[in-house]
Amino acid sequence: MLSVLRDATYRRLFAAQVVALLGTGLLTVALGLLAFDLAGKDAGAVLGTALTIKMFAYVGFAPVINAVVARLPKKPVLIGADLIRAGMALCLPFITETWQIYLVIFLLQSASATFTPAFQSLIPAVLKDEKDYTRALSLSRLAYDMEALVSPAIAALLLTVLSYNNLFLGTVGGFLFSALMVVLTVLPATAPVQQGGASSLWHRTTLGTRIFWRNRKLRSLLALNLVVSAPTALVLVNSVVVVRQVLHRPDTDLALALACFGVGSMAVALSAPRILERLGDRTMMLTGAAVIPLALAGAAVLLFLPAGYSTWWWLLVLWFVLGAGNSTILTPSARLLREASTEETRPYVFTAQFSLSHACYIISYPVAGIAGAAAGLGPASLALLILAMIGTAGAFLSWPRHTQRTAGSTESREQGHGQRTTARHQPRA
């Protein structure tokens, strides 16, 4: 897996991703504690609202801004987005009202909506070989798990000597380091934007979504995005309430709960290349779609029970399983995007996945936060279970068995070539 780091361009981009995500992980812990200080038992509602605003920025802003910057060189776009994110993170230690959280989060995540799809669409251009790209996806998943594992551990250590407001400075440093790595990297040339009808803003804004709708695997991926959103919302929004309000445990245990979610995801990401070689994308991803509702059902039962000592340990186990289930879906997902796109359409397909996947959180975050504060954590987790079951049913029905893709096979390469050819001949708007 680590062999892909021999490529100097990918190595620098991966370093930028890792450090920026470490900073974002510190932001997750500190933001939860800031919300608890400002709103107490309603912290879940504050976090749910803030994360919903983040999703609106991703869904509404990402397709438009990425269509606007499509003709610009990627390097200044990435650097500019990182600098804006650093500036917004620097404002967070000075927040005293909940509405200020909402404003800063919207601006910070709008910059992330510019950075992330552009960054992700670069990796297939850097690593042309399919096996190298699969290894890079596993490393990328591990980088995201660092946000949920190493960052909380660092946060727990720092919280023993610092106030949580100082954690925001780590986020600033992560974004500045990411910008520096992009500055030092020679990025690959990308295909120029077509002239004519494809140059219109409307065409570029909707191109990725139209490719999604015409591809059955990508339609299944849309349903899988809904499955992933349910446990993510439960863990990110309600962990602070469960740990602090229900179980009355210290701040450091919030970091431990989030870390268990990351450990589960990391365990799957480490073995993903071997699993994909043996089982293929469909089996691995749909297995995750089956496991997640089962774990959410366990979480719903747990949160309906009175708090006790055993509740804490079962909570950690369930968070681990939910993280593992998410990773079985998220790790291979970019392989489907790469297969269904050409170099020219790839930024639009990745942007569509970024936007459409986060649209699911507009449903799951309010359910976890606002419904959790109003009706209780048990009913909220039950509602998230129903949401995941709907997504699981849609994923199984949308992904036809006969198109299952086995990594490395001749048939898979021919299918990928055929789908890329189809993507090149999409009707113009």
Q: Express each pLDDT in 324-376 by its tens digit.
A: 999 999 888 888 888 887 777 777 788 788 788 888 888 888 888 878 878 88
Cα-only R_g, the chain: 21
Mean pLDDT of 75-104: 87
> What confidence score (pLDDT) does residue 355 get?
80
State the Cα–Cα distance between residues 318 and 299, nearest whole angstrom: 7
Maximum average pLDDT range among 48-52, 198-202, 265-269, 381-385? 381-385
User: What angle do the packed helices 43-56 and 346-359 form, to 10 degrees?
Assistant: 150
Residue pair 335/120 in contact by the 8 Å Cβ criterion: no
Mean pLDDT of 179-186: 88
Helices within 127-192 (DSSP H only):
130-148, 150-159, 167-184
Residue pair 81/154 in contact by the 8 Å Cβ criterion: no
- Read off φ and ψ for residue 421, nearest 5 degrees: -65, -40
Taking 50 as the threshold, does the pLDDT of residue 414 lie above it? no
Taking 50 as the threshold, does the pLDDT of residue 89 lie above it? yes
Residue pair 262/148 in contact by the 8 Å Cβ criterion: yes
Question: CA nearest 241: which of 373, 97, 95?
Answer: 373
Q: Count Cβ atoms below 10 Å from residue 40 Cβ, excluding itself.
A: 11
> What confidence score (pLDDT) does residue 308 get?
61
Taking 90 as the threshold, does the pLDDT of residue 321 lie above it? yes
Query: What residues contact residue 32 under an 8 Å CB cut-off, 6+ apart?
Result: 43, 47, 239, 240, 254
To the nearest 5 percent, what fractions of the chain are helix, strand and coil?
85, 0, 15
User: How would you class 282 by CB atoms within 10 Å of its CB: exposed for 0-12, middle for 13-18, buried for 19 or more?
Assistant: buried
Residue pair 22/172 in contact by the 8 Å Cβ criterion: no
State the Cα–Cα distance between residues 149 and 25, nearest whole angstrom: 8
Taking 80 as the threshold, does the pLDDT of residue 417 lie above it? no
> Lowest-pLDDT range, 101-105, 160-164, 221-225?
160-164
More confident residue, 60 or 309: 60
Cα–Cα distance list, 50 to 7, 244, 373 (Å)? 38, 19, 14
- Read off φ and ψ for residue 213, nearest 5 degrees: -65, -30
State the Cα–Cα distance between residues 176 and 83, nearest whole angstrom: 7
Helices within 241-308 (DSSP H only):
251-304
Question: CA nearest 110: which of 87, 76, 143?
Answer: 87
Residue pair 35/43 in contact by the 8 Å Cβ criterion: yes
Taking 70 as the threshold, does the pLDDT of residue 149 lie above it? no
For 153-170, write each residue's pLDDT tens digit.
Answer: 777 777 777 777 778 888
State the Cα–Cα distance between residues 341 and 355, nearest whole angstrom: 16
Query: What residues contact residue 294 under an 8 Å CB cut-off, 6+ apart?
Result: none
pLDDT band per the 50, 70, 90 thresholds, residue 410: very low
3-state secondary structure of 45: helix
State the Cα–Cα distance between residues 358 and 52, nearest whole angstrom: 9
- Name the token pair of 104: 């800063």
Task: For each of the domains in the chain, give its residue range(s) and CATH number, in order of start.
Answer: 2-424 (1.20.1250.20)
Q: Count Cβ atoms below 10 Å from residue 240 Cβ, excluding itself.
A: 24
State the Cα–Cα distance between residues 404 and 45, nearest whole angstrom: 41
Query: What residues contact residue 14 under an 8 Å CB cut-off, 6+ apart?
Result: 5, 136, 139, 140, 143
- Read off φ and ψ for residue 314, nearest 5 degrees: -65, -35
Mean pLDDT of 20-31: 79
Q: Count Cβ atoms below 10 Å from residue 108 Cβ, excluding itself.
A: 24
- Name the token pair of 258: 């989030």
pLDDT band per the 50, 70, 90 thresholds, residue 202: low
> What confidence score (pLDDT) does residue 429 get?
33
Q: Provide the residue type at 199 as one letter.
A: S
* Half-sphere exposure in the Cβ direction for 231 (13 Å, CA): 37
Cα-to-chain-centroid distance, residue 89: 19
State the Cα–Cα distance between residues 339 and 417, nearest whole angstrom: 8
Taking 50 as the threshold, does the pLDDT of residue 122 lie above it? yes
Taking 70 as the threshold, does the pLDDT of residue 111 lie above it? yes
Residue pair 174/16 in contact by the 8 Å Cβ criterion: no
Q: Provide the residue type at 161 as one letter.
A: V
